[in-house]
């Protein structure tokens, strides 16, 4: 009698739910302005909270990828949820005593560590259940992360702000509760497939003797020192840096453009419009992960990255020549579609190049590009914003030109890459 396996689609859905919870971090721009006003911090000071969180997300993901085989997905994902929830609690206390360093520690370090441990686990785990649909399924799982900002900006944050009568400290406490209540059961459902698992109707590719020998000799060190890994890391980094630069400031930038067109608009309407942009763009962020991840199965991984980078250069140029808030919103949505697409295509790219054996470790270390991009992009945006308080009309153009440069470098590097397995290069 054949052994009955767990429903792989249920595990995929739980992994996606966990990503939605973790992806609420992308609604940071919703809180950026209220926190600045409430505590008198600058754009750069406040943005460092988000940047530190993304920094430690990538670093923790690298660590998580290395220890995942030892501890298993259930334990690692649970620790990730606990740390992320704790980060909000420490941040709430930081607000109660008006301590920016403690905010950095709570949301940035503790929360960021939780994000990294939680993020890498469902991606690496669920991909093992779907060798027949690598691009599609990893795109679906990471889509959840992109949708997290929508859930936060349109449901969770407005609900709790109303309940707490605008008291941000209590809002963060309530958010922590939601993270723990929903996140822990989702994390607990994650597990690896049994040894030798093969989906029904799927015929694994036959490995020849030479390929098997090369794969057995692959090491993390050799892979990380390969030109292929460096090229993939840089392409990923530049796409992230350009995209997250807008993610971190999309709400304030949208509000500025609307205020320029209608100076009499009230603060509540401005905030609501900013939240709407966050929600809609996060939907595109999520869909991009699914769409581009699936397309990479047909077009090729590096071909998808070239389309992502090249098309964004065009729309960033469009942004330079428009001050219309609705055009800005539409273009931001497309940029977020491409930003998410990089996360959707990269796991499958790694699987193709470095194979399942090294996937958790290589993928985790690849996410350090997210760490670096999470510093470079938001800090550039915040610096430009603080440096042009006397001439705010220049903020947009300077930001968009920076995006063009970042994407252009990434595109040039992508031309040197291929979809070839590292095993083929070693023959």
Model confidence band, residue 66 (pLDDT cutoffs 50, 70, 90): confident
Find, among 130, 278, 270, the residue nearest to 200 by Cα.
130
Cα-Cα-Cα-Cα dihedral sign, residues 270, 272, 275, 277: negative
**CA distance linking residue 154 with residue 6, whole number of Å:** 34
DSSP code of 16? H
Find, among 88, 93, 102, the residue nearest to 48 by Cα.
102
DSSP-derived 3-state class of residue 193: coil
* pLDDT > 80? residue 158: yes
User: Residue 5 falls within a domain, yes or no?
Assistant: no
What is the DSSP secondary-structure string of 135-166? Answer: HHHHHHHHHHHHHHHHHIIIIIHHHHHHHTTT
Q: Note down the domain range covering 234.
A: 10-193+220-426
Mean of the pLDDT values across residues 122-143?
Answer: 81
User: Residue 203 falls within a domain, yes or no?
Assistant: no
CA angle 397, 402, 405 (to 5 degrees): 125
Between residues 354 and 117, the one the model is more confident about: 117
* pLDDT > 70? residue 123: yes
Q: What is the pLDDT of residues 329-354, one digit of tens each?
A: 999 999 999 998 998 889 889 988 88
pLDDT at 2: 40
Model pTM?
A: 0.79
* pLDDT > 70? residue 358: yes
DSSP-derived 3-state class of residue 194: coil
CA angle 394, 396, 401 (to 5 degrees): 95
Q: What is the pLDDT of residues 240-279, one digit of tens each?
A: 999 988 877 888 888 888 888 888 888 778 878 887 888 8
**CA distance linking residue 216 with residue 222, whole number of Å:** 12
Cβ-based neighbours of 206, under 8 Å, separated by 6 or more? none
Between residues 311 and 365, the one the model is more confident about: 311
Question: Distance between the two ends of the chain, CA-based, in angstroms?
Answer: 42
Are the CB atoms for 157 and 179 separated by under 8 Å?
Answer: no
**CA distance linking residue 223 with residue 65, whole number of Å:** 15
**CA distance linking residue 96 with residue 165, whole number of Å:** 15
User: Residue 332 falls within a domain, yes or no?
Assistant: yes
pLDDT at 76: 95
User: Residue 3 falls within a domain, yes or no?
Assistant: no
User: Residue 420 falls within a domain, yes or no?
Assistant: yes
Q: Cβ of 155: how many Cβ atoms within 10 Å?
A: 12
φ/ψ bin of 223: left (φ > 0), alpha (ψ from -120 to 50), beta (otherwise): alpha
DSSP code of 167? -
Cβ-based neighbours of 55, under 8 Å, separated by 6 or more? 108, 112, 371, 372, 374, 375
DSSP code of 156? I
User: Residue 206 falls within a domain, yes or no?
Assistant: no
* pLDDT > 60? residue 207: no
Are the CB atoms for 54 and 26 separated by under 8 Å?
Answer: no
User: Residue 166 falls within a domain, yes or no?
Assistant: yes
Number of domains in the chain: 1
User: Residue 214 falls within a domain, yes or no?
Assistant: no
Percent residues over pLDDT 90 in the chain: 44
pLDDT at 424: 60
**CA distance linking residue 164 with residue 177, whole number of Å:** 14
Q: Indicate the Cα dihedral angle 304, 21, 59, 41, nearest 10°.
A: 110
pLDDT at 425: 54
Report the CATH number that the domain containing residue 188 is assigned in CATH: 1.20.1250.20
């Amino acid at each position: 009698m054949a052994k009955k396996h767990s429903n792989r689609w249920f595990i995929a859905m739980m992994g996606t739910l966990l990503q939605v919870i973790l992806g609420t971090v992308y609604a940071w721009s919703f809180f950026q302005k209220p926190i600045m006003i409430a505590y008198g911090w600058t754009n750069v000071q406040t943005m460092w909270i988000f940047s530190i969180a993304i920094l430690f997300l990538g670093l923790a993901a690298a660590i998580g990828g290395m220890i995942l085989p030892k501890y298993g997905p259930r334990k690692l994902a649970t620790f990730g949820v606990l740390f992320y929830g704790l980060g909000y609690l420490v941040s709430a206390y930081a607000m109660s005593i008006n301590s920016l360093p403690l905010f950095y520690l709570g949301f940035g370090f503790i929360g960021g560590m939780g994000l990294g441990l939680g993020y890498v686990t469902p991606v690496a785990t669920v991909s093992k259940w779907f060798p027949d649909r690598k691009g599609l399924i990893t795109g679906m799982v990471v889509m959840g992360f992109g949708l997290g900002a929508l859930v936060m900006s349109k449901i969770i944050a407005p609900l709790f702000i109303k309940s707490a009568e605008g008291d941000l400290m209590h809002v963060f406490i309530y958010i922590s509760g939601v993270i723990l209540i929903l996140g822990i059961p989702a994390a607990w459902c994650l597990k690896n497939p049994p040894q030798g698992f093969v989906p029904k109707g799927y015929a694994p590719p036959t490995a020849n003797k030479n390929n098997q020998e090369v794969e057995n000799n692959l090491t993390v060190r050799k892979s990380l020192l390969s030109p292929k890994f460096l090229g993939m890391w840089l392409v990923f980094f530049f796409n992230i840096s350009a995209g997250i630069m807008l993610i971190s400031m999309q709400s304030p930038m949208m509000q500025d453009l609307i205020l320029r067109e209608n100076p009499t608009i009230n603060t509540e309407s401005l905030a609501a419009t900013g939240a709407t942009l966050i929600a809609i763009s996060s939907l595109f962020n999520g869909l991009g992960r699914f769409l581009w991840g699936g397309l990479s199965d047909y077009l090729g991984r590096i071909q998808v990255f070239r389309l992502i980078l090249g098309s964004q250069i065009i729309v960033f140029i469009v942004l330079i020549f428009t001050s219309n808030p609705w055009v800005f919103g539409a273009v931001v949505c497309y940029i977020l579609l491409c930003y998410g697409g990089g996360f959707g295509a990269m796991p499958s790219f790694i699987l193709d190049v470095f194979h399942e054996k090294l996937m958790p470790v290589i993928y985790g270390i690849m996410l350090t590009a997210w760490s670096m991009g999470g510093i470079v992009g938001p800090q550039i945006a915040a610096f430009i914003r603080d440096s042009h308080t006397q001439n705010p009309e220049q903020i947009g153009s300077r930001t968009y030109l920076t995006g063009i440069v970042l994407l252009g470098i990434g595109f040039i590097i992508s031309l040197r890459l291929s979809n070839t397995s590292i095993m083929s290069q070693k023959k």
